[in-house]
Amino acid sequence: MIKNLKYDKLKNMDEAQLKNIIGSNIVKFRKQANLTQAELAEKLSYSDKAVSKWERAEALPDVYILKQLADLFKIRTDDLLTESNPKKLYIGISIEKRIIFPLMAALAIFLIATLIFGFLIMFEAPMQKIWLCFIFAIPASALSFLIFQLVWKKHMLIAIFASVFTWTFSLALFLVTNLPDKFIFFIIPIPVQALIILWYILVRISIARKTKLA
């Protein structure tokens, strides 16, 4: 629901004025949230072309999208429809933080692997076995990257890190086991990889369809 809307002011606006106000507000709040057009579009499950059309005042987002934008920017819907200054600004996750956070998680995983490695050396474990803790740290790191991308809904990166995790985990299992038919660990990931690719294609198709309706 649109609350506290200045209806009297909107009555005196034509469509072009409303497009310009909403477009300029989307640009302003998007930049304050440290988002690119593509990143904003991904969060809305739209394409960057649709966002570009809104920002250039070539199209109007529907009421549902306005509500999504207001929730995303942590503002009132009124703030998108008027030229008044918002009382609250959304501080988004910057691109730098999106790189630093997953890297910190990956470094923490390799630190744990190093501690385990040192601990096993102290107890004189076989060297051909203890170095595998670093091998398992690779899929674990890929999994941490994947979790961050799932939270931020970065579809392409989700597909990439899901693929990296699938194949590196299979490699780790291949190296750690002594099964006679352990090459199956490189066969099982093939259908998983196909599912990841299919999921990504379906997501892109869904975004493209929503763009046509925008």
Environment class of residue 211 by beta-carbon count within 10 Å: exposed (0-12), middle (13-18) or buried (19+)?
Answer: middle
Class of domain 7-81: mainly alpha
Span 27-56, average pLDDT? 87
d(CA 150, CA 153): 5
Can you tell me the mean pLDDT for 29-35?
87
Q: What is the phi-psi region of residue 45: left when phi exceeds 0, alpha when psi lies from -120 to 50, beta otherwise? A: left
Please give the pLDDT value at position 3.
Answer: 41
Q: 128 pLDDT band (50/70/90 cuts)?
A: low
Domain ranges of the chain: 7-81, 95-213
- Confidence at 11, pLDDT banded by 50, 70, 90: low
pTM: predicted TM-score of the whole model, two decimal places: 0.64
Q: Hey, what long-range contacts does 152-155 have (CB within 8 A, 24 or more apart)?
A: 152/93, 152/98, 153/42, 153/43, 154/42, 155/42, 155/200, 155/203, 155/204
